[in-house]
Chains A and B, each alone.
Chain A
Amino acid sequence: MSDDNKNNWPLWEIFIQSKRGLEHKHVGSLHAADAQMAIENARDVYTRRQEGNSIWVVPAGAISSSQPDDSAMLFDPADDKTYRHPTFYQMPEGAKYI
């Protein structure tokens, strides 16, 4: 983490909402001195081509991540449980975001 490095601004993870009602999606990260600067930088770096409707910024250090070593334990058990997929239902007509 660059938070420890006094010569670098802290790292922020950037989430952009492209349309009202949709989720905020992770688009990347950038450096900024504080949250306000992170929002402005995100505006300039990630919303130049009309991608944005709303911006969230999160200090990268505040995100806890699962360990790659645990991935077998965490994710493999789902492999043979296809009944968990909602594929046995018919999609209501016109519903885009389910």
Chain B
Amino acid sequence: MAAVAARELRDGEVVFVGIGLPNLACNLARATHALNLVLIYESGAVGAVPERLPVSIGDPALVTGSLMVCGMADVFQLFLQSGRIEVGFLGGAQVDRYGNINTTVIGPYERPAVRLPGSGGAAEIAVHAQRTLIVAKLNARAFPERVDFVTSPGQRSGGRTRRELGLPGAGPVKVITDKGILEADRATGEMTLAALYPGVSVDDVQAGVGWPLARREVLGTVTPPSETDLHLLREVLDPKRLYLRSKGDGKTE
């Protein structure tokens, strides 16, 4: 997933890096095809060039050698709300049919079965980034038809489109999973199967999605991570397996 997600980033783009797997994907992209990727972290590091994989988005290695360090009021107002972030990169406990993300609660808000961390900067990233990429492992609990709580708005929330809601960014354009890639349909905003990993069937993906999954007429095949990608991920970027927690199935890479 990290390697596949990294490919979505183009050299020179300004990317707002979220916690978890997005952090790994962005640093892989910077180490391979996107040397001039501008990494902005909500902690205030702009143009970060971390010499070690940041353990959190507030890691001291994000500061050393960066282009700028600013306060968080500047991050959210001058960079994000002003529309200067090209790509937002988000993960989430639940992702639904329209790419709404839940990182707040499983169950009712007032009496949650599971209390998740909450928005952090995710709500505003989903509102303002010019486009958003979502990375999440596929399973039916994580991909319900409707999320329990909309923390970060997707293509359609409460029956209203992004345009109707007045959301400036394009919202989630792709969901990168460990079995395939979903893309937002331009007309309906629905997350639609666009590509499969080698050896994965449409039924395999459908089994991990809680709504009848639409698919493109022609499905692409996801190119597996290269030897270079795997070497960088396993030996250079994340030798301690902070993010690559897959149990030998290789899918997290």
Partners in one complex: no
Hey, which bits of chain A sit against chain B, CB under 8 A? Answer: none
